[in-house]
Structures are given as C-alpha cells and as structure tokens.
Amino acid sequence: MANVLITGTSSGFGMLMALQFARKGDRVFATMRTTAKATELQKRAAAENLKIGVLQLDILDDKSVSAAVEEATKIGGAIDVLINNAGMELRSSIEDADDDEIRRQFDTNVFGTMRVIRAVLPAMRERGAGTIVNLSSIAGIVAPPYGGFYSASKHALEAISEALHYELSAFGVRVIVIEPGAFDTQFNSNAFDARRFNETSPYHDLSQRFAASFSKLRGNGGTPADPNDVAVTTYDAVHDGTPRLRYLVGADANLIATVRKQADFEGFEAAMRQTLDWHD
C-alpha cells in the first residue's frame, strides 16, 4: 500500500484519481484549497466503501502546503506518491492579458506545483524512493491560439519535469508527466477569461471560430473522452514496469503529438489547419 497525496481533488481529474488509487488499496490524502468542497468526493468514496483522507492545502500558501504534508506524514508515514493535479487556465489572446492575470496563471501552475514538490521531495530523496506525478497537457507540447499563457505554464512544467527526471534518477525518485487532451471535467468551468478578452477584443470572433473548429478533434464526433481515462492512466503509469517519463492521454492528444513529431512547424501548422478546416 502506497501513501498518495493528490492536489486539487474537489473535482475533475483530481477527484477521479483519488477514487482510483483508493480502489486499488492505496492510502489517499485528497487535498484541496477549500475542504467544504469535498462533499462530492466523500459521497462517492462512501458509496464504494473507500477510505480517503481530506486535507486542506492551498498550493499558493507555504504554510498550508507544509501543514498538509506534515499531517499526511503524521497519519500515514512517508509520502510515496505525490500527484500535482491542481491548476487553472487563463484564456486570452497574448495581447489582451494583463500582468496580474498572467502572474495568476504561473503562480498556480508553476510556482504552486514547485511549492508542493519542495515540501515532499527532500524526504523522498533521503530515503531513495518515491514518485512525483505532474499533470501537464497536450498544450505543454503544442501551443494553441488564445491559450498561450496556459500553454506556456505547461511548457514550463514539462521542462521542470524533464530536468527533475535527470536530477532525481540517481536518488531513486521517479518523475512522471501526464499529458491529457480535451476531457469533459469541471476544469473547463474553472478556467477564466482575461478581462479584456471579451466581445470588444479584435480577437473575439477569431477565437470563437477556432474553438468551434478545435472541437472537431475531441473524441468521436466532437464528444470529449471519459475523464476517468486520465485517472486510470495515472495509476498505471505509477506502477508501470517499464517506466516512461511522459504519458499522453486521449485520441486528440495522441493525434496532435504524432503530427507534431512528423513535421517541422510549417508542416504541422498546414496539417492542423486542414484537419480543423480553420483558415484566416
């Protein structure tokens, strides 16, 4: 049985991961900024007779992170698996976003993730065992229009994860990057638009056209895939007998990544515009 700490578990991938790991017999510490939002997780866990501990953890607060890690360790012992799932998305053209909005994006997806890693990693390194899972995105490989800052934050997480992979291999600590495509979760409802990215923006109509075109890549007939696939893939990746650094999840993510690898940027752009029937 592994001790698993997961951030951002009030909904979406985080909740599904908490349930998946608990089903397999691991001791799960499901963390979230506001524990009052744990009702749905607790309801689903009770229905399956699963024991999941809920802890308050705000990835933007050093004291909150330290307290949660200390409490999880006190209850269950050393943390074996850290899953950095908490994140958010800023939707905007590059021009329309203001500095405070960009900082919010990076504070959450990059600095928040690093805050939790720093709290857990020393103990993993000292005992020569542990796994750190970072939730990235296909956007961490390919930057779409009107999602450039979210993509930049995930590109940063990809680079950090790759460097960590090299740095920690000598200490017996493994790093995993999960790269989902588009899935139907509450993450989309938690995304926010930049203040100036509205109907008055010169990019508004173009962004609406792109969103309609991009929906064609989602699953079959534009329907997003089952988000539980991400939870299952994450569990399987942690226990993979032939471990890899990166795991793509979703037909759209695999398609985009495959096309990107096979061509230079201009070739990739032409192929994607044709696939999406999206032209200026």
**Residues noted as catalytic:** 150
Would you say 177 and 237 are in contact if contact means Cβ atoms under 8 Å apart?
no
CA–CA separation, 173 and 127 (whole Å): 9
Tokens coding 276: 């999406």
Q: Which helix (H) or strand (E) holds 142?
A: none
Would you say 180 and 135 are in contact if contact means Cβ atoms under 8 Å apart?
yes
CA–CA separation, 199 and 179 (whole Å): 31
In the chain, which ranges are continuous DSSP H helix? 12-23, 39-47, 62-76, 99-106, 113-127, 148-168, 187-190, 204-214, 228-238, 251-262, 265-276
Burial 159-195 (b: 16+ CB within 10 A, else e): ebbeebbeebeeeebbbbbbbbbbbebebeeeeebbe
Would you say 227 and 186 are in contact if contact means Cβ atoms under 8 Å apart?
no
Would you say 13 and 227 are in contact if contact means Cβ atoms under 8 Å apart?
yes
